[in-house]
Amino acid sequence: MDDVTGASDTSASVEGLDLARLGEMLRERRGKLSLRQAAAEAGVSFSTFTRVEAGAQPDLTSFTLLCAWLGVSPGQFFAPVIERQVAPIDEAIAHLAADPRLAPDAASKIADVLRNMYDVLAKAPAQRQVVACHLRAASVLRPGVPHRLNSLLGEMHDKLAARVAGGEL
Amino acid sequence: MTLRRGFKAEAEREAARVRKELGLASHDRLDPRDLAKHLSVSIVDSGELVDVTELEDLERLQAFAFSAATFEIEQRKIIVVSPLRNTGRQNSDIAHELAHVMLKHDLSEIREVDGMPFRTCKPDEEEEATAFGGTLLLPRPLLLSAARRQASIEQIANQYDVTVEMARFRYNTTGVAKQAMSR
């Protein structure tokens, strides 16, 4: 049933980083060490260690340090990207073509309509730009925050660039 | 993490120098927006750039997830502040960002790894900016004069438009209370 309901599209895979597993591994590796001792060993701050153990996302430097302390590759925490072999519209059209209730001509007419609508309505995947800026923000971010923050910063940057170009700033 | 040796004294000297440039006495209130103008840095409210409800949504997900940012666009430096912060906190945020500019820190950024945005941050630079930002707003001579007239932390925060946390932090770490007593 999973492939039909799209159950793979959970918030965890949207976020793309297995923070729960990272937190779990930190707790296991820490064992009887205090949070303070473990943080000192790993070379991150006490608050960063505590929050990441509880499932928050560390900044890049802390993430690298924590992975090194765990002795694992940072890559293992990234959810594997589920690659679509067939575009969704082609898949839908293939289903129509295979429907015994539709004559080939009818299936092709619906397919044409679908393809036209899809071309008009489907949005190109959002180009996420990497924004260079100094950021006064929490050093440890909760799940869901990095993507939103990134897109907000991108929006701010674009608006500011337009204002600078327009001589307003 | 500790600040490099001599940093605090340097910060005090630099804060005194910039106050002189602005024509302020050592015990005057410094409006970080005036300092920004002096340094040719623009300040923009992020509510003018993005939907405020989006900022509020982010705030609900995580308090203080975003407070301020400095962008560099065509050699122009622009500080963006969050409208969700009160004046005292905005002043801290602006002072912190100006500190990065004055200390000529490289831009930190959001970097994507495997499609996942990460905050890159240099903890020592963040710490320097926090320390210097606080020194700009509340330099030692200012705190010493407040201590001598026995102003409370709350009075200091009110008078100089900073948060109580900032006033307490600066008051305690500069040791001005002891110096005022020993006279």
- For residue A131, being part of any structural domain is answered with yes
pLDDT digits (tens, 9 = 90+) for B8-31: 999 999 999 999 999 999 999 999
Same domain, A65 and A27: yes
Same domain, A68 and A102: no
**Contact assessment for residue B125 and residue B108, using Cβ atoms and an 8 Å cutoff:** yes
Task: Extract the runs of DSSP E, i.e. beta strands, from chain A.
Answer: 133-137
The pLDDT of residue B170: 96
Give me the interface pTM, i.e. the ipTM.
Answer: 0.89
Inter-chain contact A61–B123, Cβ cutoff 8 Å? yes
The pLDDT of residue A117: 87
CATH of the domain at A37: 1.10.260.40
Strand order in the sheet with B76-81: A133-137, B66-73, B76-81, B41-45
pLDDT digits (tens, 9 = 90+) for A36-74: 999 999 999 999 999 999 999 999 989 999 999 999 998
Among the listed residues A138, A28, A122, the one whose alpha carbon sits nearest the alpha carbon of residue B68: A138
The pLDDT of residue A76: 85
* Per-domain boundaries in chain B: 7-182
Same domain, A131 and A116: no
Inter-chain contact B120–A59, Cβ cutoff 8 Å? yes
Using the Cβ of A32 and the Cβ atoms of chain B, whether some distance falls under 8 Å is answered with: no
Inter-chain contact A148–B58, Cβ cutoff 8 Å? yes
Domain housing A138: 127-168
- For residue A82, being part of any structural domain is answered with no
- Separation of alpha carbons A94 and A167, rounded Å: 53
**Contact assessment for residue B68 and residue B93, using Cβ atoms and an 8 Å cutoff:** yes
- For residue A13, being part of any structural domain is answered with no
Inter-chain contact B117–A136, Cβ cutoff 8 Å? no
Which two structure tokens, joined as six digits, stand for B142? 């200012």
- For residue A8, being part of any structural domain is answered with no
- The total domain count for chain A is 3
The segments of chain A whose pLDDT lies below 50 read: 1-14
Question: Which of B54, B107, B114 faces A134 most closely, judged by CB atoms?
Answer: B107
Residue A35 burial (10 A CB sphere; 0-12, 13-18, 19+):
middle
Q: Is A161 helix (H, G, I), strand (E, B) or coil?
A: helix
